Amino acid sequence: LILLNFGTSGQLDSMESVPDLQKAMYKFIDGYPCVRLLNLSGVIGCSNPGREMVVAPIVSYRSDKELSQSSAVLVSLDEIESFFTKIRNDSSFARNIAGVIVESGIEIQKNLKGFSPTQKFPQAEFAPYQTTNYEWNPIGSGIMWNEYNFPVFLLSESGTVTLLEAATKNEKSNKAYIADVAEFDLVMQTTKAGTHDSESCLKEGTCLPLGGYRTRTLIDSGDCVGSVWSSLPPINVSSTDQSRPVLLTVASMDSASFFRDKSLGADSPFSGLIALLAAIDALSFIDGLDDLKKQLVFIVFTGEAWGYLGSRRFLFELDLQSDAVGGLNNSLIEMVLEIGSVGKGFNQGVNKFYAHEAGVSSATNETLDALKYAQESLDSEHIIISPANASNPGIPPSSLMAFLRKNSITSGLVLEDFDSVFSNNFYHSHLDNISNINSSAVVAAASLVARTLYILASGDTNISSSTLTAINVNVSLVEELMDCLLGCDPGLSCELVKNYITPSTTCPSYYVGVMLDEPSSTPYLGAVADISRFLWNFLADRTSIPSKNGSSACSQGCSKNEVCIRAEADGKGVCAISTTRYVPAYSTRLKFESGIWTVLPPNSSDPMGMSDPVWTESNWNAIGLRVYTVQDPGYDRLVLLGGISVTVLAYVAIVITRAFITKALKRD
């Protein structure tokens, strides 16, 4: 029985339809779910335990208090790790967990020293070295990698207020038979069908593979998110002379967290991505790029948080020489420079970064020398670049690992804001947001990268200081990119993004998503995600040269080697010569055939494929959380029993009274 508390008679009078009644009965709560993920060996993440919704009274978590009944537990963010540890270690406590609701709030975040729900060595199975017990992320708890057979939601700030009120109301209530309850709709199809690994769920159609090309959100059926690459200057793909060595500069654009659609990754990896975009912008204003002795190529990977899907697929496409990588040749890649987490490099007026080398080679030594030269040219900016500690087991978790596992003699270097352990205490957490990074550190990293790339590409170790000082990073652009890509105000509705695309949402999230079907080399742009479309247009714009045709309007048709930029922003677009492409990002162990994804057997020639977990995400019909007031069924039964008893007693009384009256009348 649901009890309704209408504040006034006016509220009752306003009920004109069933939806009005439902709105008064239920409070629908904004939140972010933890969902069910699968791999070849099992499952992680969260799900209702069966096929039905979970309903339980709301209680606030107290570490010194046991649960007396099945409950929806409201947990403060600063207690979440100890709470899940208790669930793992105390079976009697875990038995009464019906669902978990996690509070959020600015004050909680300010007081939190760190929260990283991933492993201490993220994705250690892909490391190109044996010391996989090393702790790059010592604060990592690993709680997001466990299986939870109950729903878990992170609340919005407004939802936190609502749930705190409900928990307080339940605690203070003198009526034990009335309670505010939470109803969780987090029924996963893999749970319903009993498919408990990636291979079986793909076969039964109850899940989809993680990947970055065509993805779904919790609200709509699909967006495309893919890796994007571009070159400066553009590559003439029709030319037979493709002999210039390639300097490949890498960044990532996806993150992960315990809660599916709350993955920003401001420091890891977006500070590196923003630094790369700012460096490309600075280089685009330099004259004489056609005279560079080496080809600059930039790529932004997605799917890196889930088995390096983007970098592995890129290398796979290079081997196939597919259209997605037309103009590139694996054998010409001389050096891989990755920009990792750089947003926390600023400390006490100094921007300090560390160069993590992948072994010793002439190309690596040249890059270190170029970094030092670039640092000296930025002397007034107080930038320090140091080699990482030689006692480190190797490079930190990064896309470069995929290149090294593919070819162990690859020359590469990762630029980071840490030496031996992560400086980001919110790695792979929903709290890795814009407040976790410093714009001056991103500007410094961008300046260092831009000048280093120019030194390397020119092949001249005696570049004049005046030439280098002409390469300047636009500070306002960095700040604008941070505001656009790392928050909701203005978020993706900012002028910079709207100058290139028409965004479908304001608040960004960078979870990789899932593959609905096999991608093509030319995706339908109406289904491409905002972030990928923006990056494609930004890179195409900054790396392009004007069209050679008399008219540059896209309506007239773009020539070969040309692309159409800003097509959706002004409805017309401009043709320009650019080598900018989308590249899919999904497991090399997967094949799409006859409308079905299948898992391919491991191939000894693909060492990372041998370690590939093949991540998938369970399907679902709907996800939601709502709160309402109920009356205890036991009390209902007691009232019913009381009513029946009264009825029976009344009947007996009537029979006895009638008999008595009849007898009395006969005497008379």
pLDDT tens-digit map of 177-228: 788 999 999 999 999 999 999 999 999 999 999 987 443 444 343 455 689 9
Residue 665 has pLDDT above 80, yes or no: no
pTM attached to this predicted model: 0.91
Take residue 20 and report the two structure tokens written for it: 């009005």
Beta strand pairing call for 178-185 and 152-155? unpaired
Model confidence pLDDT, tens digit, residues 312-323 = 999 999 999 999
pLDDT tens digits for 574-615? 999 999 999 999 999 999 988 899 999 988 878 888 899 999
Above 50 in pLDDT, residue 504? yes
Of the candidate ranges 86-100, 475-489, 497-511, 559-573, the one whose mean pLDDT is the lowest:
559-573
**How big is the CA angle at 341 (ends 339 and 342), to the nearest 5 degrees?**
85
Cα 570–497–30 angle (5° rounding)?
120
Tokens of 621: 């019909």
Handedness of CA 230, 416, 475, 364 (dihedral sign): negative
Give 321-368 pLDDT, tens digit per residue: 999 999 999 999 999 999 999 999 998 889 999 999 998 899 999 999
4-39 pLDDT, tens digit per residue, is: 343 444 454 555 665 666 667 789 999 999 999 999
- Longest Cα–Cα distance of the chain, Å, equals 135
CATH number of 245-544+580-589, picked from 1.10.3470, 3.30.70, 3.40.630, 3.40.1350:
3.40.630
Output the average pLDDT for the chain.
Answer: 89
* Per-domain residue ranges of the chain: 18-205+622-631, 245-544+580-589, 639-667
Q: Quick one: pLDDT at residue 368?
A: 97
Whole-angstrom Cα distance, residue 517 to residue 201?
15
* Mean pLDDT, residues 612-634 taken together: 90
Report d(CA 356, CA 448) in Å as an integer.
Answer: 15
**What local confidence, expressed as pLDDT, does residue 214 receive?**
42
> What is the per-residue pLDDT for 413?
97
Residue 461, number of CB atoms within 10 A of its CB: 10
